[in-house]
Amino acid sequence: MLFHTFAHISGVGEATEQRLWAAGVHSWDDFNEPWPQGFTGRRAEMVARHLADSRRSFAAGPTAVARLLKNSLHWRLFPHFRDTTAYLDIETTGLGRDTDLITSIALYDGHAIHTFVRGRNLDDFIAAVGRYRVLVTYNGRCFDVPMLERSFGITLDQVHIDLRYLLRELGFGGGLKGCEKKLGIARDDGLDGVDGRFAVWLWREYERTGNRAALETLLAYNIADTVNLETLMVLAYNRKVTQTPFADTLLLPMPTQPPNPFAADPRLVATLRRRYGL
């Protein structure tokens, strides 16, 4: 999708980009003489220079490209740098207090699932996340990334695609689970109805009793949230490109989700529901 993008060029907004596409200028290679209507010699030369710079930025990697685009267009990076993208989700001891701690992190790159747990291997996350150049989250801009940076004393300077905002542009809200349901992503893993608040209770149960089933249920939930981000990313990307005149050449196949290495304990989930009056 990047090679079809003109909206990053000074003086060429998304409306002008749409007009270029309608005129048959579908890609950077299509922008040449005779210049499209509305692009006189000087303006056309400026656009051509910007496109040459864009090609150099693309060769330099996703961070250089992202600097050219406003945040709402970062989704266009996705297929070009998918092999260096990681999907990320965290669970915590609470739901937003400054004193909350990270209990678990799930990281998925489309092939391998990695989990990091407080008191076990949480610090290994720093080296693991450093291998990726693009991060995809849901609400990570407000929650996950600031929490990670504060907890580890690091800066996550990867390109960040936050699906909360991308899906909202497409008309899908209601949190991660709400978006999943509206887009037809079903959870048949015993975790339906389990949410971030429930994850807090699972960690408390694990800390209080050492119940391994509580930890495994927590990790199963954390991983399910994380691998579903890839499906949501592809769905959102495809819905975006269907708004272009060249959608047929850009649509991505839906990913196959990996098996979850952990399983929820339905009896424990039922017990916690009763305990907390759900």
pLDDT the model gives residue 205: 95
Distance CA 23, CA 226 (A): 40
Same domain, 92 and 40: no
Question: Does residue 69 lie in a domain region?
Answer: no
Q: Which residue has the tokens 């990681």?
A: 86
Say whether both 187 and 236 belong to one domain. Answer: yes
Contact 57, 2 (CB under 8 A): no
User: Is residue 54 domain-shared with residue 125, that is, in the same domain?
Assistant: no
Give me the pLDDT at residue 219, please: 97
CATH of the domain at 249: 3.30.420.10
Does 68 map to a domain?
no
Cα 255–chain centre separation: 14
Q: Does residue 161 form part of some domain?
A: yes
How much is the pLDDT for 196?
86
pLDDT attached to residue 120: 95
* Domain assignment present for 40: yes
Three-state secondary structure call for residue 75: helix
Do the domain assignments include residue 208? yes
In a domain, residue 67? The reply is: no
Same-domain status, 113 and 249? yes
How far is CA 136 from each of CA 47, 209, 248, 271, rounded to the nearest angstrom? 31, 34, 24, 33
Nearest Cα to 219, choosing from 273, 261, 256, 259? 261
Give the domain extent around 239. 82-275
* Bridge-based pairing state of the strands 85-92 and 102-108: antiparallel
Q: Are residues 209 and 138 in the same domain?
A: yes
What CATH number corresponds to the domain at position 30?
A: 1.10.150
Measured distance CA(13)–CA(11) in Å, rounded: 6
Q: Does one domain contain both 50 and 97?
A: no
In a domain, 202, yes or no: yes
What pLDDT, on the 0 to 100 scale, is given for residue 97?
72
77 domain residue, yes or no: no
- In this structure, the answer to whether residues 147 and 25 fall within a common structural domain is no
* Residue 122: closest CA among 90, 100, 93, 97: 90
One domain, residues 255 and 124: yes
Q: How far apart are CA 119 and CA 128, in angstroms?
A: 17
The total of structural domains in the chain comes to: 2
Which residues of the chain form beta strands (DSSP E)?
Answer: 85-92, 102-108, 113-117, 134-137, 159-162
Task: Render the burial of 137-164: b for 16+ CB within 10 Å, e for the rest.
Answer: bbbbeebbbebbeebeeeebebbbbbbb
Do 51 and 88 lie in one domain? The reply is no
The encoded tokens of residue 128 equal 């693991």
Q: What is the pLDDT along the chain (278 residues), one digit of tens a residue?
A: 999 999 999 888 899 999 999 989 999 999 888 888 888 888 888 999 999 999 999 999 999 999 999 999 999 999 999 999 999 999 999 876 778 999 999 999 999 999 999 999 999 999 999 999 999 999 999 999 999 999 999 999 999 999 999 999 999 999 999 999 999 988 777 887 788 889 999 999 999 999 999 999 999 999 999 999 999 999 999 999 999 998 989 999 999 999 999 999 999 999 988 888 77
111 and 169 belong to one structural domain: yes
Pair (55, 126) in one structural domain: no
Q: 221 and 118: one domain? A: yes
The pTM score is: 0.94
Q: If phi over 0 gives left and psi between -120 and 50 gives alpha, with beta otherwise, what is residue 85?
A: beta
